[in-house]
A and B are shown apart, each in its own frame.
Chain A
Amino acid sequence: MGVNPLDIIREYLPFFASGTLFTVGFSLAGIVFGTLLGLLVCFGKMINNKALSWPFICYITFFRGTPLYVQILIIHFGVVPAVFGQSNGILAGALALSLNEAAYIAEVFRAGIQSIDEGQTEAARSLGMSKLQAMRYIVLPQAVRRVLPPMGNEFISLIKDSSLIAAIAAPELTYWAQAMGAQYAIVWTPYLTISFIYLILTLTMSFLVNRLERRMATK
């Protein structure tokens, strides 16, 4: 090819920049809503009543057991148009990532909570704390510390998984790389460029999680 890779990258720089913002946005949405919803699902699954916990178990089974790519297609072409009467790639992408992430976060949290020795709850209860208080003040603070590393892992895979949203033409990083590749019939330039950007994003994420871990450890 007669084209200079640097020229093409320069040409696509604004698109990669806005694409990075979208990727970060999708990831943040997935992390925030996924964690909140995940906590809810986690408590739902731990209810000591089969009928009540069943929907949450189904939720986790579906979102962990089917490919995210397929979920994105279903949500974009099925769920969002059915609810809002119009498809919207950005909304569908954020929704799919959050719902998917929630299922994983729920399981991570459950593992964390169940790893805290039951004796602690019993001790808290014998001191007169209610079940809720024991969970809030004794179990959760310790569980959060334990689940931080696996949560960090989830967040990093979430950033990478957001690339699948390119399939529904939401203008994130991979979408623009594909556009660039298709326009110039090239492979290395677009995909190595976004690999580099993804690396920066995931490294930043693991750095942040590491710092948080250290801060919580010394507490």
Chain B
Amino acid sequence: MIKKLSVLSLLLAFVLIFTACSSGSGSGSSSKKAATKKVLRVVNDATYPPFESLDKGKMVGFDVDIMKALSKASGYKYKLVNVGWDPVFAELKSKTADMSISAISITADRAKTYDFSKPYFLSTNKILVAKSSTIKSAADLKGKTIAVQQGTTGQAAVEKIVGKNNPKVKKFKTINLAIMEMLNKGADAVVADNTVIEQYARNNPSKNLKVVEDKDAFEPEFYGIMYPKDSKLKPVFDKAINKLYSDGTYVKIYKKWFKVSPDLDTLKAQQ
């Protein structure tokens, strides 16, 4: 019996090693023929409605639709893969993915390590609190417990006010966990991109939430498609983005998800 078991485990080990090797060589050959239009590996963190989330297992959202339109405009085929927020950055850094469209704000810090497309979305961090909350501005966040999604500009904005790695800033893997923490009174506020928390407050009226804006403390941010450094795809998709702006596709997708018209002038002025 023991002999049988050890043979079995040996076999299992071989199978594992073999699959590991074959998948390794597979990705190697696909990066070699980058000259012919290969299928792009586009990664995201699909926990961020209305930009990207899973609806019965299917990826939906503003970014998902934009990517589809961009692929049509550029002629590139792609495969959208949900890998999670931190892995998005890890994959682009190690160049195992070609690009990411995942509501990523363009920041000077990130631009040191990655390339960004022209901005395709305008966003601001806002504060989500209970209706009864006394928090009226970003300055009121001092001394309060704040839940954020780890590694987001929301976290950066909060830490600018209360200090970096302040123990009262709770960092969660997804925005939903952060919001849940606040609903369970483990935090007094959530700071995140306005579209996400506004939609959450709108979709969940029974939770009695409100969104607080502070234009002075939180600067406007622009989302961009993120690439590994020196990606050759950037000019191609920059052109495609402008095409979506000019042929009305962008406005159509924007209205579908946010019910209002986009501020195209501000977006274009950023270019």
Contacts and interface: CB of A to CB of B under 8 A. Distances in A.
Contact of B185 (A87, A175, A182): A87
B22 interface: no
A41 B179 CA distance: 36
B186 interface: yes
B252 interface: no
Interface stretch (B28-36, B57-65, B170-178, B234-242): B170-178
Contacts of A183: 151
A15 B173 CA distance: 18
Main secondary structure of the interface of A (DSSP, over half): helix
Nearest to A167: B173
Contacts of B89: 182, 185
A181 B85 CA distance: 12
Contacts, number: 58
B181 A179 contact: no
A79 to B, nearest CB: 11
Contacts of B173: 167
A179 B165 contact: yes
A169 B172 contact: yes
Given A87-B184, A89-B186, A169-B181, A181 B165 contact: no
B124 interface: no
7 contacts: A15-B165, A169-B171, A179-B150, A179-B165, A179-B171, A185-B89, A185-B113
Given A80-B184, A168-B181, 8 more contacts: A81-B185, A87-B181, A87-B184, A178-B86, A181-B86, A182-B85, A182-B151, A185-B110
Closest 6 CB pairs of A and B: A182-B151, A87-B186, A87-B184, A81-B184, A169-B170, A86-B185
